[in-house]
Chains A and B, each alone.
Chain A
Amino acid sequence: MGATFDLWKATKWVLFYLLVAVIVVVSVFPFYYAILTSFKTGTALFQVNYWPTSFSLDNYWNVLNSGSFPRNLLNSIFVSSVTVILALFLAITASFALARVRFRGRGLLLLTILGISMFPQMAVLAGLFEVIRALGIYNTPWALIFSYTIFTLPFTVWVLTTFMRDLPVEIEEAAIVDGASPWVIITRVFMPLMWPALVTTGILAFIGAWNEFLFALTFTSNNDTRTVPVAIALLSGSTQYEIPWGNIMAASVIVTVPLVILVLVFQRKIVSGLTAGGVKG
């Protein structure tokens, strides 16, 4: 009896880790292959290898020293950072009102915000284009900041609102008695308590803005104003007929690594932030 039991346990163990391995391979392989390719040059690019065969940083050198890629990288950093700051600022103040101030139509407003987040990008692209032309920010980073903030806000506001609702009312009242204005309550009492939620939503907003392609393609028109996803897509080789895979892969790795590091650094906060709002409701 004991032997069969152990066998069953071992089988379960093997099956479980087999499944884990499959999931890991499927999700990590594309990125792994990109890294692999980025180290290859010349015709080696077109040989299929699953293990590193050559190591050369030529592609990275090319990408960083040619054309406008460094500029695009700075654009991306600027656009994503400003989007995060702007979105968090608006979302914190909005969620304070939505979570703590009683007013007519609050529920409807929250549902509307949620509804907006369901619009596909394509549906609003044309309208947004007109708005951006009218505002005179076409082909500037502000066009992207503006449109990304619009698309980030619903999620950010919802997460922060649920989080803020769970903060004890008495703490706010104690601060009111202490003479704190709403602004002081938000910045000096609530924000320190909301770091996990702020980090989570901030990082997700950053990733969203960093990887966005469609708006970035539509609202910019020259190399100096593009962000990296578009720049990578438009990387061209020495001739029209050559796709510079090595450069593309190197650029992709350069773009992805900061995000991976960012997420790894804050992963604990992200987990506690994602659960904090939901569990205790």
Chain B
Amino acid sequence: MAAIELRNVRKSFGMVDVIKGVDLEVRKGEFMVFVGPSGCGKSTLLRLISGLEDITSGDMLFDGKLVNALAPSKRGIAMVFQSYALYPHMTVYENMAFGLTLEKGKGKEEIRQRVEKAADMLQIRQYLDRLPKQLSGGQRQRVAIGRAITRDPKVFLFDEPLSNLDAALRVATRIEIAKLHESMDHVTMIYVTHDQVEAMTLADRICVLRDGYVEQVGTPMELYERPDSIFVAGFIGSPKMNFIAGDKAEKFGCKTLGIRGEHMDVSADGIWEGTVIHTENLGADSYVYLDMGQEEPIVVRLDGTATYQSGAVVKVSPQEERIHRFDADGKPIR
């Protein structure tokens, strides 16, 4: 159990500033997700917290104690890597026990119990004698998570753990991680991903990063309903939020008007008119892409199956209370 506090943390690699002053507080037992486009510094931030990289300036505190210069193994963290990073020459058991055998004063029996307990949690007990190369990708990732659990960490760090898995396995492992968080509610977890669906489904709070700065921190619903900038508005939610500029926006007293596809209705007396470019039927819902003279097509999400022909003219209106208004700086007008 640890609360993590970052105070004006910066990181430069040579001349390149990657993290440009981050203030952040991660609460005890919280599941925090770092999300952002590639190159935004989210993995670097995780590595700074892990101690694998040293911070260039600023302070990092675990439970109020300064850990700037503390070695990773002394911070009480465990990390799960994107590439699993299992030791190829060790069996699953040895992989999971390795960290414990390095600690002084751990008896063989105690190590065995802890490894088996973790193996049971992840249902990998039957693989304990195998080598990593004899396991599938999903099983390897479980072993990697198991190796982290055995260390009984205060802080659990995940660096894009699902990126190497196929889509079905990704969903299954995502649920697994969510369950893990519930069963280990005293452990703080930090999870890095570029996938906003993972962020929305797993996080207690999401930290959106952009270009080395924290853009917004909040619960998934806060980010969805009250984004602090156009960037966050566009990054969170699928399909992406529609942005409408020009006259249509000015009528609502803003530079850019943001409206999500699921917050628009098709009706005969709709205030906007658009031509159907393309329709995607996903079964439960469907996306209709409209050309409304904006830079990008406007997406309308409808329940059930949409039967619009390409080229048909459709009238839509936004749900007034769901409109996001942004000024010229991309900041919300509230």
Contacts and interface: CB of A to CB of B under 8 A. Distances in A.
A189 B73 CA distance: 16
Contacts of B81: 170, 173-174
B103 interface: yes
A178 B85 contact: no
Contacts of B52: 173, 176-177
B77 A178 contact: no
A184 interface: yes
A189 B86 CA distance: 10
Contacts of B102: 178-180, 184
A177 B72 contact: yes
A105 interface: no
Contacts of A44: none
Interface residues of B, number: 23
Interface residues of A, number: 16
B317 interface: no
B89 A192 contact: yes
A118 to B, nearest CB: 33
Contacts of A180: 73, 98, 102
Interface in B11-68: 50, 52
Contacts, number: 55
A42 interface: no
Interface string B85-129: 111110000000011001100000000000000000000000000
B interface: dominant SS: loop
Contacts of A18: none
A174 B147 CA distance: 10
Contacts of A127: none
Contacts of B98: 175, 178, 180, 188
Contacts of A20: none
A177 B78 contact: yes
Contacts of B72: 176-177, 179
A219 to B, nearest CB: 40
Interface in A27-78: none
A35 B147 CA distance: 58
Interface string A175-203: 11111100010001100110000000000
Contacts of B82: 170
B79 interface: yes
B88 A178 contact: no
B83 interface: yes
B267 to A, nearest CB: 54
Contacts of B99: 177-179
A170 B89 contact: no
A193 B151 CA distance: 24
B310 to A, nearest CB: 47
B154 to A, nearest CB: 13
B83 A178 contact: no
Nearest to A178: B99
Interface in A71-118: none
A2 interface: no
B90 to A, nearest CB: 8
B32 to A, nearest CB: 18
21 contacts: A168-B83, A171-B88, A173-B85, A174-B79, A174-B85, A174-B147, A175-B87, A176-B52, A176-B72, A176-B73, A177-B72, A178-B99, A178-B147, A178-B151, A179-B99, A179-B102, A180-B73, A188-B98, A189-B87, A192-B89, A193-B89
Given A174-B87, A180-B98, 18 more contacts: A170-B81, A170-B82, A170-B85, A171-B85, A171-B86, A171-B87, A173-B52, A174-B79, A174-B147, A176-B73, A177-B72, A177-B78, A178-B99, A178-B102, A178-B151, A179-B99, A179-B103, A193-B88
